[in-house]
Amino acid sequence: MTVEVGSPAPDFTLSNQSGEEISLSDFKGKNVVLYFYPKDMTPGCTTEACDFRDQHKNFQDVDAVILGVSPDPIDRHQKFIDKHDLPFHLLADEDHKIAEAYNVWKLKKNFGKEYYGIERSTFIIDKEGKIQKEYRKVRVKGHVEEALSFIQNNM
């Protein structure tokens, strides 16, 4: 299944920080901001998560739910949530199957080393479960405001 604007978002079920199973289809009837990020507690990921936290009320005002996905285990997600008071689900994609389904599991290079990991990406999914916008190779600064603005103006 290809992931592109206008196509149905691939459904999935992952465990959240509390071990509760969360499915994308649980949020039919709401807008969903599905964001993939590399790793809890790292500088860029912390900034992005805190930006989503700080705009959480504004996302709620446009009937949008925020779901964060990374390969980290649920206990690390819980520590990340506790440390930064994050008011949304963080989902554990430890086998990176969902990242692969959304084509965000990529070969990366850092300091001359090659490895596979998450390419920071966000998908805006409408109330019917269709992808309305995709952001790939996301730069953290200003990204959350851009995603919020898209929902406010287009959905």
Pair type for strands 13-16 and 21-23: antiparallel
Q: Is 45 a catalytic residue?
A: yes
- Tally of CB atoms within 10 A around 144: 26
How far apart are alpha carbons 133 and 126 in whole angstroms? 9
| The token pair that represents 4 in the structure block | 């592109």
Single-letter code of the amino acid located at 42: T
Host H or E run for residue 101: helix 97-101
Decide if 8 contacts 25 (C-beta within 8 A). Answer: no
Which residue in 22, 24, 32, 45 is the catalytic one? 45
How far apart are alpha carbons 49 and 41 in whole angstroms? 10
| The token pair that represents 138 in the structure block | 């996301």
Active site residue ranges = 45
